[in-house]
Each structure stands twice: as structure tokens, then as C-alpha cells.
Chain A
Amino acid sequence: MKGFQFFRNLSVATKFILWFLLVALVPLIVATYISYDRSEKALGKEVENSLMAVADDKANTIENYLIDKKKSLATLSHMSEVIEVAEKLCGASPAAGTVAEEFRPFLKYYQESSGYADIFIVGPEGNVVFSVFGKKGVESLYETALTTGKSPFVKVFSDAKASLQTEVSEFEYYPESKNIAVFIASPLLKGSDLVGLIVAQMDNKGLAGITGNYAALGKTGETMLATRAANEIAFVTPLRFEPEAVFARRMAVGSDKNIEWRNAIAGQPGSGRLTGYRKRDVFAVWRYLPAFRLGMMVQMDSSEVFESARDLRVTLVKIAAMILFFTVLAALLIANSVANPIKELTRVSGNIAAGDLEARVAVMSEDELGRLAVSFNHMTDSLVEALAKVEEKNVEVEKQKGLLEAVNKELDSFVYTVSHDLRAPLRGIGGFANFLKEDYSSKLGKEGADHLARIIAGTQRMQRLIDDLLALSRISRVMNPYEYVDMNELVRSVLARIEFDIKNNNVRMSVADDLPTVYCDKIKMAEVFLNLINNAIKFSSKDKARQPSVEVGWRDRADAHEFYVKDNGIGIDKKYHREIFGIFRRLHKEDEYEGTGAGLSIVKRVIDDQKGDIWIESELGKGATFYFTIPKVARTRKEEVPA
């Protein structure tokens, strides 16, 4: 969810870029991968095929070369002159030396034209009787070879003597001269008698010439020839990147490695990928060349093979980078074409919010954004219009307010006039009526005294009516500042004010000792309790049968404090519950309860001011409970309430 939120908070331009990249990149990556993969496979196959062709070609060339060498010697062994000379040389005739010298140019020519390193004639017993390059130097060598019986020369001699066929020896390496030699031996037969053997020595120069031709083998491809040397496999020709490898680099036959070479030499051709002598991954094709029992391997570095594939990959990456670049560019352009008008809208709306009502958005297009801009300007126009109207109304309201204040002032002076001037004559009437009663009651007679008493009662009642009316009007007019008021203290002060009435009526007062602290108009709240408790005392004290009882309590509601004042008086009929709070509503006969009935009206006004509720629960004869609520204002936080 968090990542999602992060994405949502990105700027529009960034979002566009991300989406464009997503849309462009995925197919691009898939296409690149597929084409690269395919080209790699195709290249691999192609290289394998071409390597195989090269290998076949090389194998043919080498095999033909070697067979040709073999045939040449065989041809020589059938020449009657050669046989005759050999007979003479082997027969140890006294003229042998002369015969050899006469014969030497012929064989030398033959040796050179056939590409042999040397040509020997050997007697049936193994004694070397002739060599193109002089008898003296080589004789001892071959004698040594003969006695040890291990040299390829000896072996090929023995083989040819036994089979009376042309035989080919193993390759042999001479570390001193760094030369390599292989021998071909053919029997010299006169009829069925073995006169001797003719042996040709070959070096690897001819083979190296063939393997050293790297045509169609690129930069890393090469042809390698190897032979079995004891328990190892040794290279016969120089390697392209390791010319001195001839017989120097050897591969053990017994190990798990070089299986391909073993297979090649064992006559099992094949192809595949392997790690070459340079520790590189190579494509390789291997063959067996039976004529000289050689293994041949044609190989090429796979890195070269895949070079073109890599080129392709680089090209693809370049294309991808370009597509990316243009994608980002396009995304930016599109994003800006969307975001800029929005930014402009934001800027202008900010200006308007800051009070510049003249600011308007420049309409740059006719698309949705353009229409939005038009609507926005339209809205701003309407706003300006509406503001002007509100301003007009405000002026009117101010005017009305002024009027209202004037009226209120008038009312104030009216109230004062009423309270002062209206009460003055009333006071006179009451005062003089009292004097009449005091001074002349005996002269008035019973009926006159009664009339006078009625006048006095009337003035008193009139006095109270006026007082109540004024009290009520004052309650509505005067707004005292709200403060935190401890209700325990408030109720205590109210009870002190009516102490006389409580004692006089023998009222059992019970007030909860945990009343809360309430944010309210202290003076008016006191009026509420005063009137409700007075009311309760008044109505509960008329039932002489039991002691009047008044209870003040409260309970905490979620949004308000709820108080109640409960009495055990005569109760109030349900049908009057609503109208009881109306001004001068009297439910009882005048002489039964004193008062004008303004008290509950005052209470209701105060509770209305406090945005609270007031209601009554009562049944006739069962006492009454007045409930009222004072909302907990937002400011009534615990820490601000004084302890």
C-alpha cells in the first residue's frame, strides 16, 4: 500500500515517464532477448557446420598427404634398381662404398622431391647400410635404437620385416634438436627373399604447413594434430597460439579430461563445445586420421563465433537506448502538455484564493484541459459575482445590525423607563393604600376594607408582574462572558440566597457533592438553579401531609452535562409539559402558589442560550423532575478545567 501511495504522490510527468517506459521497455527487452537468442543459436549451428566442413577438408588433405608419403616409399621399394643396390649394400661386398656413393644422388633427389627428412636402407638384420645424409653420423644412433628396442624406428622395422608390408611408426620427439620424426618402412623383396628394408624419415614440417593454413578459420580457429605417446597424447604440429607445444604440451589419457582427444585418437569423431588449451570456450570438431593414427581437432573460440551476435546485441542495446531516450522525451512532452495547464490552473487558483480575483487562466487548447480552463474562468467569474452579491448583502446586514442596535438601545431605555416610571405611580398607589388601611380601615367598614385589601393585593401583583417582565427581558439582553464554573459552589451560593425559604418551609435539601465544572454564563446559570429550586420548594411545600424534599443531581453524558432538580410535590399533568416554559403560564390558582410564572421562562431562555435542552418528567401527584443539559464545549478540555 505504501509503495502505491508513493507512486500516487509522484508528479504527473514522472508517472507518464514510468508508464511509457513500462510500455516501451517490456516489448523491447523481449524482442532483444529473442533476436539475440536466435542469432546466437543460428550462429552456433552455422559455425559448427563450417567447422565440420573445414575439418573434413583438412582431414582429407592430411590423410592424402600421408598416404602419398606412404605410397611414394612403397613405389620406391618396388624399384629393381633400389632392390639391387640394397642387395649389394647388405651383402657387404667390397664395392659397397662405391655403390652407395653412386646411388646417393638418386635417393637424395627422391628424398627431396618426396619431402622426406631422410631415406635409409636397412639390412634384414637391422644394420643400417645407407643414409642419404651420410652413414657415419646416424649409424650409431640407430644401432643404439636397435639395441634398446624401444625406438619407433626399431618398431617400424620389425613390423615391416614381419608383415612384409609398408608400415608407419609412432611419432618420436628429439628434445635436443626439437625435431619430430616418424618413420615409414617398406620391405625390399627379390622374389620372395627379403633383401632389406627401405625406411623414410619424416618430420612434421609438411603437416605443420597444412595445419598452419588458417583459411576459413578466422582469428582464433586452428587445426591441431596429436598422437598417442605412451600414456599421454602429444601435439604433433605447433599450435596457433603456442608454437612450442609440439610434444611439450601433453594430455594424460587416463584422466576425465580431454575426452574429445581420446575419442579422436580412438577413432570416434564428433563435435561440440569444450574448454580449449587456452582455457577458453571453443567450438570443436574432431576426427581420426587412420593413415598415421593421428587425432585431429579443428576448433574456434566461441567468443569469436558469437562476436557477430555480440555486435548484434550492442546494436540492439543502442537501439533500446535510443528508444528509451525518445520514450522519455515523448513522455515528458506529453506529460508537460497535460501538467502545464494543470500547474497553470493550480497557480491561478492559488492567486484567486490569495485574493487576486482578477486572475484568469490562459486557455491554450480546445481539449479537455482547455475546456477545464474555460470552466475554471467561468467559475471564477461566478465567484466574483457571488462575492459582489455577498458584499452587497453584508452591507445590508451591517445596516440591519445598526438598526437592530438602535432598536436594542431604544428597548433598553424603554425597559428603564418602564422599570422606573411605571413602578413609581404603582408604588404611590400601594403606599397610600397601605396608609388608608392603617389610618381609615375602621371608618371604611367591612366592605370598604375588603376593597382596599384587593387594591393592595392588585398593586403587589402588578409590581411582581412588572419585575418579572423586566427580569426576563434582561436575561435575554445581557450576555455575560462564559467561564468555568464550579457547580458545587454555584448551587451553594443559590441555596444561601433562599436559606430563609428553605428553613421556613422545612425543606429537606439534598445536593450531589460531586457536581462538575461547566463552561457557562455564571450569573444566568445561578438564575436557572435559583428558579428551579424555588419552583421545587414552592410546589412541594403545599402538600402539608409530608415534608417537602428537593434533590439536585447530575449525570455525565458523552456530549453534555445533564442536571436535574427533583421535588416530591403535586406534580404536573403531562398535557402541560410543553407549555409550562411559556411566559406567565400559570397552572394553579393564584392564591395557591405565589409568583407570576416567569421563572421557568427565564430558565428556558438561559438553557436555550447555552444550546442545551430542558424537559420535565412528572405525573400529577407524583412529584416533578426538571432536567436540563449543558453541552460540553470543545474548549472544555480536562487540562483547562480548574481542579
Chain B
Amino acid sequence: MKIKILIVEDTEDDLFIVTRYLKKAGYTDIVSAGTLAGGIKRALDEKPDIVICDTLLPDGNGFDVCREIKTKLGDSSPKIIVTTGSIDAVDAVKARRAGADDYCGKTSDCAPLLEALGKLAQSIKEKAG
């Protein structure tokens, strides 16, 4: 089964890097949004399997994206990974409270993100059978 991924990220460089690493890792079905509003809209329209969401967005933060999607889609909502450029541990707590499925810091090699993504994709595939 093909995993569809939505990246909500306003920083062009980060979007480019993440996209490249994801593609390299085999995740080819990728859509993206640069704002909170756009992110939510695309999540509803595109029905991705996994949403990767930055904490800082021009019109809000990733936790709100997380919360909205989870509220609006309920059981059918995608898995959400919150990524942050900060190393503040408080973000992890906030993410969990907002309903995120995982959380990781941003790095230039995207290793933590790929690891988290791998775990979630695995569980989705197992669920789908």
C-alpha cells in the first residue's frame, strides 16, 4: 500500500530537505502546505495517511493544526508527527496534548523524522493488512 504524506511547513529549505529525504526513503506520494489554514484544508481534501507538521507557522502553530484535524476527522484522522526546530522539551508535552502521534526535532539529516515515520507507516500497513 502506498503511504500518502502531507507536509505542513513554511520554511522552503526545510520542505525541500524533508521532501528529498522522504522520496529517497521511498515515500513518493507527498503533498504540502505552507500555512495553518492550508494545512487543514489539504488534510481534509487529500486525506493523507500521515501529516508532518512544523510547530511554527505564519498564521498559527502546529499544535492547532494537530488539534483541528483530530477534532474534525476523529477516528479517520491521519497520524500526525509534530516536528520542531526548537529543542525545548515543553514542545513535546504540548504536541502530545494536542493529539500528535509522535514528535521529533528537526535535523539536517532528518534521521529522527525518518525513524518516527517508519514506525507509523509500519503500523498503518499492519492495520490495512
Residues of A within 8 A of B (CB): 415-416, 419-421, 423-435, 459-460, 463, 467, 470-471, 474
Q: List 27 A-B contacts (CB under 8 A).
A: A416-B86, A419-B88, A420-B85, A420-B86, A423-B86, A423-B87, A424-B11, A424-B85, A425-B13, A427-B13, A427-B14, A427-B108, A428-B13, A428-B14, A429-B108, A431-B13, A431-B14, A431-B110, A432-B13, A433-B108, A434-B108, A435-B17, A435-B20, A460-B108, A467-B87, A470-B88, A474-B89
Given contacts A416-B86, A474-B89, 18 further A-B contacts (CB under 8 A): A415-B88, A419-B87, A420-B86, A423-B85, A423-B86, A424-B13, A425-B13, A427-B14, A427-B106, A431-B14, A431-B16, A431-B110, A434-B108, A434-B109, A460-B108, A463-B108, A470-B87, A470-B88
| CB-CB under 8 A for A459 and B108, given A424-B11, A428-B13, A435-B20 | yes
CA–CA, A433 to B17, complex, Å? 11
| CB-CB under 8 A for A419 and B85, given A424-B11, A424-B14, A435-B20 | yes
CA–CA, A33 to B128, complex, Å? 123
Contacts of A463 in B (CB 8 A): 107-108
CA–CA, A467 to B88, complex, Å? 10
B56 at interface, CB cutoff 8 A: yes
Most buried by B among A427, A432, A435, A460: A427
Cβ-defined contact, B85 with A432, below 8 A: no
Nearest-CB distance from A328 to chain B (Å)?
Answer: 79
Contacts of B109 in A (CB 8 A): 430-431, 434
Cβ-defined contact, A419 with B106, below 8 A: no
Nearest-CB distance from B1 to chain A (Å)?
Answer: 28
Contacts of B87 in A (CB 8 A): 419, 423, 467, 470-471
Nearest residue in A to B18 (C-beta to C-beta)?
A431
Nearest-CB distance from A642 to chain B (Å)?
Answer: 26
Cβ-defined contact, B17 with A428, below 8 A: yes
CA–CA, A428 to B109, complex, Å? 10
Contacts of B88 in A (CB 8 A): 415-416, 419, 470, 474
* Residue-wise interface mask of B (68-89) relative to A, using a CB-CB cutoff of 8 A (1 in contact, 0 not): 0000000000000000111111
Which one of A416, A419, A420, A430 lies within 8 Å of B108 (CB-CB)?
A430
CA–CA, A431 to B21, complex, Å? 10
The 5 closest A-B pairs by CB, nearest first: A430-B108, A428-B13, A431-B17, A419-B86, A420-B85
Contacts of B110 in A (CB 8 A): 431
CA–CA, A424 to B14, complex, Å? 8
Interface residues on B, range: 10 to 19
Contacts of B85 in A (CB 8 A): 419-421, 423-424, 427
Nearest-CB distance from B58 to chain A (Å)?
Answer: 14
Please provide the chain B residues from 35 to 87 with a CB less than 8 Å away from any CB of chain A in the complex: 56, 84-87
Contacts of A459 in B (CB 8 A): 108
Cβ-defined contact, B56 with A431, below 8 A: no
CA–CA, A471 to B56, complex, Å? 21
Please provide the chain B residues from 86 to 128 with a CB less than 8 Å away from any CB of chain A in the complex: 86-89, 106-110
Cβ-defined contact, A432 with B86, below 8 A: no
Nearest residue in B to A467 (C-beta to C-beta)?
B87
Nearest residue in A to B109 (C-beta to C-beta)?
A434
CA–CA, A245 to B108, complex, Å? 147
Nearest-CB distance from A415 to chain B (Å)?
Answer: 8
Nearest residue in B to A421 (C-beta to C-beta)?
B85
Contacts of A420 in B (CB 8 A): 56, 84-86
* Residue-wise interface mask of B (1-42) relative to A, using a CB-CB cutoff of 8 A (1 in contact, 0 not): 000000000010110110010000000000000000000000
CA–CA, A122 to B49, complex, Å? 180
Which one of A423, A429, A435, A474 lies within 8 Å of B106 (CB-CB)?
A423
CA–CA, A430 to B16, complex, Å? 13
Nearest-CB distance from A455 to chain B (Å)?
Answer: 11
Nearest-CB distance from A469 to chain B (Å)?
Answer: 10
Contacts of B20 in A (CB 8 A): 435
Nearest-CB distance from A471 to chain B (Å)?
Answer: 7
Nearest residue in B to A433 (C-beta to C-beta)?
B108
CA–CA, A467 to B84, complex, Å? 13
Nearest residue in B to A471 (C-beta to C-beta)?
B87
CA–CA, A470 to B90, complex, Å? 13
Contacts of A423 in B (CB 8 A): 85-87, 106
Nearest residue in A to B12 (C-beta to C-beta)?
A428
Nearest-CB distance from A479 to chain B (Å)?
Answer: 14
Which one of A416, A427, A471, A474 lies within 8 Å of B17 (CB-CB)?
A427
CA–CA, A470 to B17, complex, Å? 24
Contacts of B89 in A (CB 8 A): 474
Nearest-CB distance from A437 to chain B (Å)?
Answer: 11
CA–CA, A463 to B111, complex, Å? 15
Contacts of B14 in A (CB 8 A): 424, 427-428, 431
Contacts of A434 in B (CB 8 A): 108-109
Cβ-defined contact, B11 with A426, below 8 A: no
Contacts of A467 in B (CB 8 A): 87
CA–CA, A520 to B13, complex, Å? 43
CA–CA, A423 to B13, complex, Å? 12
Contacts of B108 in A (CB 8 A): 426-431, 433-434, 459-460, 463
Nearest-CB distance from A591 to chain B (Å)?
Answer: 20
CA–CA, A297 to B107, complex, Å? 141
CA–CA, A426 to B85, complex, Å? 11
| CB-CB under 8 A for A432 and B106, given A419-B87, A419-B88, A420-B56 | no
Most buried by A among B17, B84, B110: B17
Nearest residue in B to A419 (C-beta to C-beta)?
B86
Contacts of B13 in A (CB 8 A): 424-425, 427-428, 431-432
Contacts of A427 in B (CB 8 A): 13-14, 17, 85, 106-108
CA–CA, A638 to B88, complex, Å? 37
Nearest-CB distance from B70 to chain A (Å)?
Answer: 24
CA–CA, A548 to B110, complex, Å? 32
CA–CA, A459 to B108, complex, Å? 9
